[in-house]
Amino acid sequence: MIETINNAGLSMTVYYIFHVLGFLCVLLFNIYYGKKYQIKPWKSIVTTLIVYSITYVWIYILSWAESGFKAFGGNNIVRGYIYIPLIAFPVAKLLKIKWKSMCDFIAPCVCISQGISHFGCIFAGCCEGYSCAFGIYNPYVKDVLFPIQIFESLTGLTIVMLVFYRAYKQQFKVDGLSYPFMLILYGFTRFFWEFGRNNEKILWGCSSLAFHALFMGICGVICVIILKKKMTKNNKKTKKKLRGKKA
């Protein structure tokens, strides 16, 4: 099927269809998910449109900078994961949504987009794995390659379910931990999967995207530690006040 689509000159069309589908799924999910955090549907839509657009512009700029300002392109959203809460901050202020609520709300979104749109890479022949005895036929290199795109997509969608399950278990209580939790899960798994991708390695057998992934995982761990300590401190203060009132 992949070769047939390629011969018909439809590879990039299918690729973009998956990207559009990924965005539409994020939009629809956010309308539903926003209600869990008392975010009105129109605010969910505006948030999705603004954050999604700015993030993609930013990752193109980052990719351009990585190339030494020679090639403008490279729309891999992995570069933008770590910056999304910062991009969402002014949007939260504009729409009068608490930043913690915004971060918990947008946590599953990027993995939905990545999980769905990445299937399009199979048809475009990009983000390919190494040559192996089993896998997906790539018409561009005319070889069977390790199906890394499928593994990455399934990993992303699995993380969506895990983030959602965590929020569901605590009845969608806002604590600001959902996004760091996603960064940890996606960052370290993506770092691992990068070794299965046949892309340029820059240091110690790691690609630039591997370092982006490792960075997001580490940042996720740091954020969890800081937020947990802050929560513990606030709980102690609350208990102290209650004891004072009882006395």
Q: Provide DSSP, 107-166.
A: TTHHHHHHHHHTTHHHHHT-S-B-EEEEEEEETTTTEEE--HHHHHHHHHHHHHHHHHHH
Domain region containing 195: 2-246
Count: domains in the chain: 1
Range 220-232 average pLDDT: 89
Strand ranges, E, within the chain: 131-138, 143-145
pLDDT at 4 over 80: no
Span 154-181, mean pLDDT?
94
Does residue 246 register a pLDDT over 60?
no
Residue 234 to residue 242: CA distance in whole angstroms: 12
Residue 176, token pair as written in the block: 């600001």
What pLDDT is stored for residue 73 in this prediction?
61
Higher pLDDT, 2 or 239: 2
pLDDT tier for residue 243 given thresholds of 50, 70 and 90: low
Q: What is d(CA 192, CA 130) in angstroms, rounded to the nearest whole number?
A: 14
- In percent, how much of the chain has pLDDT > 70? 91
Residue 229 has pLDDT above 90, yes or no: no
54 pLDDT more than 70 = yes
87-96 confidence digits (pLDDT tens)? 999 999 999 9
Give the chain's mean pLDDT.
Answer: 86
Task: Assess whether pLDDT exceeds 80 at residue 8.
Answer: no
Q: Is 206 helix (H, G, I), strand (E, B) or coil?
A: strand
* Residue 89 in tokens: 């901050």
Band (pLDDT 50/70/90 cuts) for residue 214 is very high
What mean pLDDT do residues 124-146 have?
80
Beta-bridge mates of residue 143: 138
Q: Which of 2, 88, 107 lies closest to 46 in space, CA to CA?
A: 88
Closest C-alpha to 166, from 182, 189, 183: 182
Listed as own residue / partner, the contacts of 7-10 with beta carbons closer than 8 Å and 24 or more positions apart are 7/139, 10/123
Closest by CA to 63, choosing from 81, 51, 75, is 75
Per-residue pLDDT at 86: 93
For 240, other C-beta atoms within 10 Å of its C-beta total 10
* Residue 223 and residue 183 in contact, taking contact as beta carbons nearer than 8 Å: yes
Residue 74 has pLDDT above 80, yes or no: no
3-class DSSP state of 173: coil
CB 199 within 8 A of CB 209: yes
How much is the pTM? 0.86
For residue 71, what pLDDT band results from cuts at 50, 70 and 90?
Answer: low
Distance (Å, rounded) from C-alpha 212 to C-alpha 190?
A: 9
Return the SS3 of 203. strand
